[in-house]
Amino acid sequence: MLAALMFFTRLPWWRLGSPSKKDFQRVVVYFSWVGWFTGLVMALVFFLSAYIFPVWVAIIFALIARLIMTGCLHEDGLADFFDGFGGGVTKERILEIMKDSHIGTYGVIALIMYFMLFVAMIESNPLFDVFYDWQSIGYIALCLFACDPLSKGIAINGVLLLPYARNEETAKSKIVYDALSVGDRLISLSGALLPLLVLSIFVSPFLLLVAIAPIVTTALLVSLMKRRLQGYTGDCCGATFLMSELASQIVVLMVSCHL
């Protein structure tokens, strides 16, 4: 867990210990549990900011908080993913583009559209048109919290279903994730589903439908990676997480229309 916090965030967790290389090779097991931390911080920032600023400003503050915590790790993956798959034809060319530190047109457009859609999904929630109180703000904050670990836990299925497209020497992080055992999958899945399950019990059972979004999104992206790349990279994992989370927020908006 410490290795996962060090790998997926930029906070000084290294002061608590020095995980081994083997620990870092298993970080994806705890990806969803890291989402508990990043999702909670996002939710708290949104909840507190929404009492002072308009909703769209509050969600931008929440996104900035996560960007600071993660060092834009996932957003870098999203940009590289779109640059690679948008500009490359062969597997070798896609991998070459994705490893390039420069950002291209596809990556810029992907980031702009991602942030615009994410803010729009929250700001246009119909609950804010009827009630702008602690209950409606708290509901959105809880959804922000739940969608983060949910999307991370589902997104790592690319690691389960596909081989790594590079080797350890050419990997950006110099880390190749280990295959997950049955126990590892249960650890990851419990971290992903538990927040959404609790939310559906105390708010609405229809929120369980949110789980469909990252499952479908991840399945489609894994299919694309298998066809074009015959594997996955770390950038693919980051992009899958963000797009799965965005899809989850779309379903949250749809469910909210019927609450």
DSSP codes of every residue in the chain:
-HHHHHHH--SSGGGG----HHHHTTGGGGHHHHHHHHHHHHHHHHHHHTTTS-HHHHHHHHHHHHHHHHTTHHHHHHHHHHHHHHH-SSHHHHHHHHH-SS--HHHHHHHHHHHHHHHHHHHT-THHHH--SHHHHHHHHHHHHHHHHHHHHHHTHHHHHS-BSS-TTT-SSS--PPPP-HHHHHHHHHHHHHHHHHHHHHT-GGGGGGGHHHHHHHHHHHHHHHHHTSSB-HHHHHHHHHHHHHHHHHHHHHHHTT-
Does residue 173 sit within a domain? no
| Tally of domains in the chain | 1
Does residue 50 sit within a domain? yes
Structure tokens at 32: 């969803």
Does residue 240 sit within a domain? yes
- Mind listing the pLDDT tens digit of every residue in the chain (259 residues)? 999 999 999 999 988 999 988 899 889 999 999 999 999 999 999 999 998 999 999 999 999 999 999 999 999 999 999 999 999 989 999 999 999 889 999 999 999 999 999 999 999 988 886 567 788 899 999 999 999 999 999 998 888 888 888 775 555 656 677 777 888 889 999 999 999 999 999 888 999 999 999 999 999 999 999 999 999 998 999 999 999 999 999 999 999 888 7
Distance CA 207, CA 146 (A): 10
User: pTM for this structure?
Assistant: 0.93
pLDDT of residue 12: 93
pLDDT of residue 174: 60
Residues in CB range of 164: below 8 A, 6 or more apart:
171, 176, 177, 231, 232, 233
Does residue 172 sit within a domain? no
Does residue 19 sit within a domain? yes
Does residue 121 sit within a domain? yes
Does residue 171 sit within a domain? no
In the block, tokens 């899958």 appear at 240
One-letter identity of residue 222: V
Residue 164 β-bridge partners? 232
Does residue 161 sit within a domain? yes
Domain that holds residue 70: 2-166+178-256
pLDDT of residue 117: 96
